[in-house]
Amino acid sequence: MLFAPSPVAEIMSATIKDEQFEGHSLNWWEPASTFKLDSILLSYGTTPEMDIREKLKIPNNVIIIGDSGGYKLLTSRARGKNVNIEPLDVLRWQEKNCEIGLTLDINPTSLRAPGSSREKSIATTSGKTTTDEYFNKCLEETCKNNEIFQNNRAPSKLKIYNIIHGGTFEKMERMDIWYNRVKDFKFEGWSVAPKPAGNPLKIAIDLGFLYSRGIKENIHVLAVYGNSALPILVYAKKKLEMKNISTDSFGQALLSIYRHHKSLIGPSLIYTEKNKIHTRVPCFCPVCSIIKNVEDMYRTDNTGYALISLHNTWLTIHFLKYVEALIENEESFQKFVKKYNRLSEGITFLNNTIDYGWEEAMKKISLIQKPLTEW
Ligand SMILES: [Zn+2]
């Protein structure tokens, strides 16, 4: 599976300024990086520079997935700010820089403005159901953008993915309404943005929907969160035989912002000036093994944030590799799944989708009400 992490601002800043640490670049794509990964997600909403690939020194063999800025529109709206993004500008930026680009979506779920920075992860990933009127307005606006994308393409290597929105637990039927309205646009792939982002069942529902509509390749799952989310994608790839499935699972970026040094074997350690309690570097990954002095973990400049973020990114890749190896043996994988209730729900949903179809799988979890005549 293609995992394209989104770099935190400090990693981008350190890269542009050529800041190194112990002779290593503070990213995962330059020759002197501590580890390599050949994929990255960038968003037009955050880095709209036309020469962003050169600016960030990203080699041509590294796949850039280009988000359109739809998420930026959504979060700005939640904070009451007005941001304008032109679809044609996004398309040209994607053609110049990216291998995969997502259409400029107007997300119909409403995110509330976070009350504090601590609350940011919950506020920006849960998503609330909106009114029918608002939903239709977002859908029509997205279709207008899709038309601009479809009719103005210049020759390039770019594959464009059509985003499906709409499904929240309260109103799952909206996913079908959205899909039917956008399905005839001529693009190369599909993308879903499950909300809540950390809910394995919701991710399974969105992937099961694609499967039921015959979509089995070129699929991007936007911004899923947490360790029980990635196994769902790995399972879908194998069991639903999905090809070219990618994600930008962003838990590692959020943890980095809060200065959590994530661990797979216990609680994460937190490195903040206010609470200076750790006196050892707690890991021997390719990033942490170059840190000689724990004080560097407390730095609040680009280097400090980048080190924590790179460790978290490396750990996420490590976890993904583990799950990808585990799934080769059904029995070991099922043992692993049983440890996580919410992951089990998602796996069961995908199995039901294969056996009985998506609509039936939905009825089994009572999200779509059966008509009385079918009881
Ligand atoms: Zn480490």
Average per-residue pLDDT for the chain: 91
Percent of the chain with pLDDT over 70: 93
Q: Mean of the pLDDT values across residues 130-151? A: 93
Looking only at the bridges linking them, the beta strands covering 63-67 and 100-102 are parallel
Q: Does 113 score more than 80 pLDDT?
A: no
Q: How far apart are CA 208 and CA 142, in angstroms?
A: 23
pLDDT tens digits, residue range 207-228?
Answer: 999 999 999 999 999 988 888 8
pLDDT at 125 (0 to 100): 52
Ligand 1 centroid distance, CA of 36 (Å): 14
- How many residues appear in the chain? 375
Ligand 1 centroid distance, CA of 290 (Å): 9
The three state secondary structure string of 105-143 is CCCCCECCCCCCCCCHHHHCCCCECCCHHHHHHHHHHHH
Q: Does 258 score more than 50 pLDDT?
A: yes
Ligand 1 centroid distance, CA of 60 (Å): 27
Q: Mean of the pLDDT values across residues 59-70? A: 95
Q: How far apart are CA 359 and CA 368, in angstroms?
A: 8
Ligand 1 centroid distance, CA of 309 (Å): 10
Q: What are the angstrom distances between the C-alpha of 249 and each of 180, 184, 218, 220, 322?
A: 27, 28, 17, 11, 16
Ligand 1 centroid distance, CA of 374 (Å): 55
Q: Does 375 score more than 70 pLDDT?
A: no
Poorest-pLDDT segment among 28-42, 107-121, 294-308: 107-121
Ligand 1 centroid distance, CA of 19 (Å): 20
Q: Does 241 score more than 80 pLDDT?
A: yes
**Cis amide leading into 114 (omega within 30):** no
- Whether 71 contacts 81, CB under 8 Å: no
Q: Phi and psi at residue 65, in whole multiples of 5°?
A: -95, 125
Q: Does 170 score more than 80 pLDDT?
A: no
Q: How far apart are CA 261 and CA 241, in angstroms?
A: 34
Q: How far apart are CA 357 and CA 351, in angstroms?
A: 9
Q: What are the angstrom distances between the C-alpha of 365 and each of 35, 78, 150, 212, 359?
A: 42, 31, 37, 17, 10
Q: Mean of the pLDDT values across residues 119-126? A: 50
Residue 352: which pLDDT band, with cuts at 50, 70 and 90?
A: very high
Q: Mean of the pLDDT values across residues 345-353? A: 96
pLDDT at 117 (0 to 100): 52
Quote the pTM value.
0.92
Q: Mean of the pLDDT values across residues 55-79? A: 89
Please classify residue 156 by burial: count the beta carbons closer than 10 Å to its beta carbon, then call 0-12 exposed, 13-18 middle and 19+ buried: middle
pLDDT at 372 (0 to 100): 55
Q: How far apart are CA 242 and CA 220, in angstroms?
A: 11
pLDDT tens digits, residue range 70-107?
Answer: 877 877 777 778 788 999 999 999 999 999 999 998 88
Maximum alpha-carbon separation in the chain:
70
Q: Mean of the pLDDT values across residues 9-38? A: 98
Q: How far apart are CA 71 and CA 223, in angstroms?
A: 10
- Return the closest-CA partner of residue 89 out of 55, 44, 30: 44
Q: DSSP characters for 182-200?
A: HTTS--SEEEE--SSTT-H
Ligand 1 centroid distance, CA of 279 (Å): 15
Ligand 1 centroid distance, CA of 287 (Å): 5
Ligand 1 centroid distance, CA of 298 (Å): 14
Q: Strand, helix or coil at 12?
A: helix
Ligand 1 centroid distance, CA of 15 (Å): 20
Q: Does 233 score more than 70 pLDDT?
A: yes
Ligand 1 centroid distance, CA of 71 (Å): 30
Q: How far apart are CA 170 and CA 129, in angstroms?
A: 7
Poorest-pLDDT segment among 58-62, 125-129, 363-367: 125-129
pLDDT tens digits, residue range 265-321?
Answer: 889 999 998 989 999 999 999 999 999 999 999 999 999 999 999 999 999 999 999
Ligand 1 centroid distance, CA of 5 (Å): 16
Ligand 1 centroid distance, CA of 273 (Å): 20
pLDDT at 171 (0 to 100): 82
Pull the structure tokens for residue 26. 């503070």
Q: Mean of the pLDDT values across residues 246-273? A: 92
pLDDT at 371 (0 to 100): 55
Ligand 1 centroid distance, CA of 262 (Å): 8
pLDDT at 60 (0 to 100): 97
pLDDT at 123 (0 to 100): 45
Ligand 1 centroid distance, CA of 277 (Å): 18
Percent of the chain with pLDDT over 90: 74
